[in-house]
Amino acid sequence: MYGLGNIHLKHRISQNPESPRAILLFALFLLLVSPCLHGQTAVTPIVPNRYIVVYRNRTIPMDAEVSTRIAGARLLHRNERLGIAAVQSLPATSPVRARNSTANFAPAQSDAETMRRLTAQPNVQYVLHDRIVTADRLTLKQAVPATFSVIIGSTTQPGSYDSFYTASPQGWAVQQVGGYGNNVAGGPAHGPWDTTMGKGVRIAILDSGVDEYHPDIAPNLALNLSEIDQADYPSPCDDGTPQDQDGHGTWTASLAAGALGPGTGEVIGVAPAATLLNIKVLQRMPDTSSGSASVADQCTSGQASGLLSWILQGIEDAIDNHADIISLSVGATVDLTTGEGAGLKAAFDQVTNDAAQAGIVVVAAAGNDGLDLSNPRYAELPAQSSGVLAIEASTNPACAQNTAAGAACTPGPIALAYYSNHGASLNALAAPGGSYPEGGDLAVSGWVRGACSSGKPSTIDGPPSDSSHSFGCFTLGHTPYVQAIGTSASAPLAAGAAALLRAAHPDWTAATIISTLHATATPSPSLPVPQINAEAALTAH
């Protein structure tokens, strides 16, 4: 694997619901930022002794393994398409010689010296630190049902299906971007689904995995792949398999392409006939700041994390597995005036360009820090990477945004969600991310309903040290459905809309699909950017 930065998975709810931080934020962020952007420096930890080597002309020399060892490191992974390698510095040993070579291997050395030696190797363009992907602590209100609106098991009677969409107003986010029609109950009788439900389109979800047994996921799931390498970043909370043991990935996947019809679950995605490609790039990690010495307790409050290298490798694997759409609820705010920031931008541009050249529409969340990203010194990655469709978060007009404590849902304008990053430099569109008030289990709500993970089959909540235990839906145990808010909802909803357009126009390039979505998006006075409108996009040509 190879990696370039640190990502923060934010599942944060403050104790004060009147605060703009009183929110469950499902999104991934790199905090490589400057004091003038956030008010304080937040530099994320590097992976000790791991580096990203980017080669000129995307060409890794045949003898890169030998030259890397001469520089005092070991080549871990080669990505020949990108010309990027992940390497790790050697432990302290006496100098040795390469087999069949007179060249000395370097002994263990300082970080700066290792980077200098690696940069000096033939055809190396630049070297970056790999970084640890960490997760912010999830803080819940005491009234968990009021915060999460958890439904365990079927929502109505045994044998029911699609009821959150068809029998409650909680399918609002899917409908708001164009997930309706074909006489499906719960939304307008006619709309984009009259034309297509996304059949034949492959959506890659790069996240914490998906629950492959979930009835909203299983009918559409065609690929289970994990980039997790626990030799690089071990976790006692997750077994590294493609199965979602955090919840975030199942939630996002269900919004993009939750299945429809008898024998499925209780939600419907925007493109309910599309194919899902599960590419796991995050795993549940223990929360060592919990104050408990118990691994089980630390894992219970833990969050999804990993290495950014897994995300970049995941994009490459999505290309190899013929994805049409890639949904990324991930982000990296970088300072382009630094060498690492500029290198991150170049590396992301390289991989997203590859995806676009393969005809893949890459959709990425704008981020949940509430930042104005107009300053050209900074970039949000991959949202501002080459050829990527960036998505900001909008709200529910049936439950106007109101962060005051105890507020009830009342109609109002669609607005920019208060946590959403924004700025003209993003060249973004909007899709629902939700906001306060949160509403009830089956009532009008500002939050976004989606599927969640029930962990591995026939297990109870706990570290996967044996076959009887696994984790599932965040801190909620094995829970199949959850309400939440964040730009991590916006990206997969937009990805579902892009899938509908790709299904209707399979010969269109990624750039044509993105430009059509821009040209047909619906403006709103309270939104700084227009909102995706799949119906208008499908009828534009």
- Of 67, 488, 490, 524, which residue is the catalytic one? 488
397 forms bridges with which residues in the sheet?
none
Q: Is 103 exposed, middle or buried (0-12, 13-18, 19+ CB in 10 A)?
A: exposed
Q: Is 414 exposed, middle or buried (0-12, 13-18, 19+ CB in 10 A)?
A: buried
> What type of residue sits at position 333?
T
Q: Is 290 exposed, middle or buried (0-12, 13-18, 19+ CB in 10 A)?
A: middle
- Of 248, 254, 309, 524, which residue is the catalytic one? 248
> Cα–Cα distance between 204 and 324 in angstroms, integer?
8
Q: If you ran DSSP here, which 8-state letter would residue 169 be given?
A: G
Would you call 488 a catalytic residue per the annotation? yes
Print burial letters for 27-43: b (CB count within 10 Å at least 16), e (below 16): bbbbbbbbeebeeeebe
42 forms bridges with which residues in the sheet?
33
Q: How many residues does this entry show for the chain?
A: 541
> Cα–Cα distance between 272 and 281 in angstroms, integer?
23
**Interacting residues of 320 by C-beta distance below 8 A, sequence separation 6+:** none
Would you call 320 a catalytic residue per the annotation? no
Token duo for residue 220: 């559409």
Which residue's entry shows tokens 């529910």?
396
End-to-end CA, the chain: 42
Would you call 130 a catalytic residue per the annotation? no
- Of 129, 149, 162, 207, which residue is the catalytic one? 207
> Cα–Cα distance between 478 and 153 in angstroms, integer?
10
> What type of residue sits at position 323?
A
Share of the chain residues as helix, strand and coil, in percent rounded to the nearest 5: 25, 20, 55
> Cα–Cα distance between 152 and 480 in angstroms, integer?
6
The residues assigned a catalytic role are 207, 248, 488
